[in-house]
Amino acid sequence: MHLTKTKQFLHPQPPSKGHGSTPPSPTDELPQRAVEILRRLTQQYPNATCSLTYHSPVQLLVATILSAQCTDVRVNQVTPSLFERYPDAAAFAESDLEQLTQLVRSTGFYRNKAKNIRAACQLIMTHYEGRVPAKMEDLLQLPGVARKTANVVLAHAFGINAGVTVDTHVKRLSNRLGLTKQTDPGKIEQDLMTLLPQPEWENWSIRLIYHGRATCGARKPDCGNCALADLCPTAQS
């Protein structure tokens, strides 16, 4: 697991209060608030990491594809037997599609997921010498892989922060925290990339996911017990 540790970026210096200084605009304050949010989340969830179970880049790729519209808990229930039968890209590439479909059935959208997993691994075998590629542009060529999946694989399998992973939790919390007004995950990602230091991009996503599960639920956020309440426009409204 390659999870970038929190560094000195989490201690922003306060703006100068000298005579004649210009008050910061709301736009100027956004990066400082984002970094302060991350600092608090890092304190609250110091050991946060990817909750999918895997032992190789291809297993992480498969697990992340399966996690679409499915909980990580469910995926982790499915993958032990799945990876026992198909331990590597070659095995997935040569799999019987109907058997693979049945093994991933409980994750939902299972026919598309099985089809994409096998096709992605076939491409890995023919174009990348059996290894999951470590470049965003190459990962996006694989069936079933969009930026969210590619960001997860790059960050946790290779230690590369190429973007900000935007899942439903990151999308919901980033909007509630007033850090973006976008609803499209790609546009949300671009907004967040401008606010956060690159080494912290995946740390941000992982910790927002933990906070979304623990405190800031979709239907009933627990603002009264939220460490970010004073930084959150939604909690203040």
Query: 10-53, pLDDT tens digit by residue?
Result: 444 444 444 444 444 444 699 999 999 999 999 999 999 999 99
Q: Give percent of the chain above pLDDT 70.
A: 88
Flag whether 205 is in a domain: yes
63 and 152 within one domain? yes
User: Looking at the predicted structure, is the pLDDT value of residue 149 above 60?
Assistant: yes
144 and 62 within one domain? yes
Averaged over 72-77, what is the pLDDT? 98
Flag whether 174 is in a domain: yes
Flag whether 147 is in a domain: yes
Give the pLDDT of residue 22. Answer: 44
Give the pLDDT of residue 181. Answer: 96
Q: Report pLDDT digits (tens) over 91-110.
A: 999 999 999 999 999 999 99
Give the pLDDT of residue 19. Answer: 40
* CATH number for position 77: 1.10.340.30
Give the pLDDT of residue 69. Answer: 94
What is the average pLDDT score of the chain?
91
Flag whether 22 is in a domain: no
Contacts of 166 (CB under 8 A, 6+ apart): 147, 148, 174, 185, 186, 188, 189, 192, 205
Q: Confirm whether 148 is a catalytic residue.
A: yes
Flag whether 40 is in a domain: no
Give the pLDDT of residue 117. Answer: 98
Closest by alpha carbon to 114, among 149, 143, 77, 147?
143
* CATH number for position 212: 1.10.1670.10
Q: Spot the catalytic one: 148, 171, 184, 220.
A: 148
Q: Report pLDDT digits (tens) over 163-190.
A: 999 999 999 999 999 999 999 999 999 9
Give the pLDDT of residue 9. Answer: 37
Q: How far apart are CA 149 and CA 68, in angstroms?
A: 9
Q: CB pairs under 8 A, 24+ apart, for 193-199?
A: 193/163, 193/164, 194/31, 195/30, 195/31, 195/34, 195/35, 196/31, 196/34, 196/35, 196/38, 196/164, 197/7, 197/9, 197/35, 198/161, 199/4, 199/7, 199/9, 199/161
232 and 153 within one domain? no
153 and 82 within one domain? yes
Range of the domain at 127: 57-158
Give the pLDDT of residue 28. Answer: 62
When divided into structural domains, the chain yields a total of 2
Give the pLDDT of residue 65. Answer: 98
Flag whether 32 is in a domain: no
196 and 154 within one domain? no
141 and 172 within one domain? no
Give the pLDDT of residue 21. Answer: 44
Q: Confirm whether 167 is a catalytic residue.
A: yes
Q: Which of 113, 135, 158 is the last residue of a domain?
A: 158
Q: Which of 140, 158, 176 is the last residue of a domain?
A: 158
Averaged over 119-139, what is the pLDDT? 98
Q: Spot the catalytic one: 72, 88, 138, 167.
A: 167
Give the pLDDT of residue 158. Answer: 98
Residue carrying structure tokens 């910061």: 24
Flag whether 197 is in a domain: yes
